[in-house]
Amino acid sequence: MNLILLFAIITITDKKVLHEDWARNLVHALSFDSAISPRPSPEEYFEVLSGKKRIIIKGEELLLKEEKPYIYTCKISLPSGRFIIAGKARTTSIITIGDKSFLLKKSEKFLEKAGNILLPMGEYEIKVSSYKKDPVDFIVIDSGCFAPISPLRGWMKGKELTFGDKASSIVRALNLEELLPQFPEYEEAEAKTEGDFTVLNFFVKEKGVYSVVIETGKKRKYERVWTETCGSYSFLTGPDGKGVVWTKEMDEGEFKLYGRMGIKGYLIKRKAEEDEYMKILMRMGFLERKKEEFVSEADMEENIKRLEVRAEKKEIPPVPYSLLVLWPEIPIPFRKPVSPLLPEFAE
């Protein structure tokens, strides 16, 4: 009898973990559970962690429901996910989706962020309330604004989880890709002036992990830049007047940032390899083996416990300046303390 019980315990402990098992545990550890439906599929967990759904609602698509105050509505269908609510408003308005409401401030030039929300898949009514008619030009609901949380090669249903997969997804969950080594080459953004602002046009030549660095000339100051779909990002400049706006995986293509006159922008590629992700975690005390080894249930439990403790107690230290100054031509400055979950893009 004792032998049977011992065998059962060993069997459970050594059972290999699939990508969907790991994704489910990550969602729980990061407190994203409210974005999950009662009977979720593996794809739903993947979508919450790394979805890229974007919906743009134009002002003329909103239907007038009530007057004084004016209430406009629109129905949309969303997958499960974490979403940024942003928009361009002619007058300050209140946007309601699900059981949450957000203040969207009036903006004459740029898209402004109203807030973040976790939503399970389903049909939703968007409600816009204002004391003036036609309050918004458009509203954006976007899950692609967040840094994606996934293994380097993406989520694969039914695939066994390796230590390399695990390491890259944890580093991304903790927003620590900024600690990856950087390549010596960099791309400077094309800059042009529009009125009182500078427009920076960035070109991502191939999919990879990149840091977006802005040079302002002002030392140790908080600055802001605006995007076309996600609202504004705040960042802290270092003693050289440069600051990291974000570091995350980006697809090939172009994007623009808008900021005050005279700023410059740089795109720095990071060495996104499993060995490098594992080095970061080992310095933080996480359990690591060879990158190709499969993660067991016992390994997963140990790592999830460490992740939960850091998330709950916010025990994520700021990235040391000395670790970021790896490249003398454009040194990377110190930055805000790292979020235990994901960056707050608009502040």
Has residue 235 been placed in a domain? yes
Looking at the 3D structure of the chain, how many domains does it have? 3
What pLDDT was estimated at residue 14? Answer: 65
Whether residues 45 and 153 share a domain: the answer is yes
Whether residues 89 and 234 share a domain: the answer is no
Has residue 7 been placed in a domain? no
- Average pLDDT value for the chain: 85
- Judge whether residue 8 has pLDDT over 70: no
- Judge whether residue 171 has pLDDT over 90: yes
Whether residues 109 and 66 share a domain: the answer is yes
Q: What is the pLDDT of residues 235-264, one digit of tens each?
A: 999 898 999 999 999 999 999 999 999 999
Segment 130-147 mean pLDDT:
94
Segment 276-290 mean pLDDT:
89
What pLDDT was estimated at residue 310? Answer: 61
Whether residues 223 and 279 share a domain: the answer is no
Whether residues 21 and 58 share a domain: the answer is no
- Judge whether residue 143 has pLDDT over 80: yes
Whether residues 166 and 234 share a domain: the answer is no
The CA-CA-CA angle for residues 100, 106, 112, to 5°, reads 65
- Judge whether residue 95 has pLDDT over 90: yes
Q: What is the pLDDT of residues 102-115, one digit of tens each?
A: 999 999 889 999 99
Whether residues 46 and 59 share a domain: the answer is no
Has residue 152 been placed in a domain? yes
Whether residues 22 and 66 share a domain: the answer is no
- Judge whether residue 2 has pLDDT over 80: no
Domain holding 46, by residue range, is 15-50+148-175+274-313
Has residue 3 been placed in a domain? no
Whether residues 257 and 294 share a domain: the answer is no
Whole-number percent of the chain with pLDDT over 90: 70
Q: What is the pLDDT of residues 206-236, one digit of tens each?
A: 999 999 999 998 888 899 999 988 999 999 9
- Judge whether residue 346 has pLDDT over 80: no
Has residue 248 been placed in a domain? yes
- Judge whether residue 316 has pLDDT over 80: no
What pLDDT was estimated at residue 337? Answer: 36
Whether residues 72 and 132 share a domain: the answer is yes
Segment 113-119 mean pLDDT:
94
At residue 306 the predicted structure's pLDDT band, cuts being 50, 70 and 90, is: confident
